[in-house]
Amino acid sequence: MRIRLADRADLTGILDISNWAALNTPANFAIEPESLVSWTQAFDQTHRMFPWLVAELGTEILGFAKAGPHRGRCAYAWTAEVSVYVHSDHHGKGIGTHLYQRLIPMLKSQGYVTLLAGITTPNAASVRLHESFGFRKVGDFERVGWKFNRWHTVGYWEAILSPDQRPPGPIQAVDSAAAAMLPLSG
């Protein structure tokens, strides 16, 4: 298995994984398949400053992890939201761990200070994964998603990458952080 930066050609495989989760689990709040056009737009808008990674074996995408902006206002610039999804045939094989082993250090080297992850609860596997990387639960948003004929609660986990209280520096582009870290085999 190899972990590398995603490119536009990977978006079909990434979208297949995300759409499967949308149709079969409450972990993804989409309620119908999303379009390749919308994911391409999101990729094009974010991938220069927020990493998108894929785990692949040969030509098969086993999973992906990505970061994105938390909010649009400037004071949030040092905070990123992270997510990881693994192909349903490959759950429980450590792929999410391998992806976060690359994504989180990359975000730290770019200058991000705080990472956030929303997890539809209950989801013991996702909670374990995030907590194994130093995330701690900071709260719940109750009844925020209606899916599969019931309300779902989303818990939020936070990881502080730099506890330093000094003013942060500028966020570095993905390519500068990736050069030293990718590709890596897992």
Domain range for residue 150? Answer: 2-185
pLDDT of residue 184: 53
Cα(23)–Cα(25) distance, integer angstroms: 6
pLDDT of residue 182: 57
For each of the chain's 186 residues, which pLDDT tens digit applies?
A: 999 999 999 999 999 999 999 999 999 999 999 999 999 999 999 999 999 999 999 999 999 999 999 998 999 999 999 999 999 999 999 999 999 999 999 999 999 999 999 999 999 999 999 999 999 999 999 999 999 999 999 999 999 999 888 899 999 999 988 876 655 555
Residues in contact with 4: Cβ distance below 8 Å, sequence separation at least 6, in sequence order: 53, 54, 56, 182, 183, 184
Q: How many domains does the chain have?
A: 1
User: What's the CATH code of the domain at 97?
Assistant: 3.40.630.30
Cα(166)–Cα(163) distance, integer angstroms: 9
In this structure, what DSSP letter does residue 146 have? E
Tokens at 44, concatenated:
């094009």
Nearest residue to 185 via CA among 56, 87, 85, 66? 56
- What is the value of pTM for the model shown? 0.94
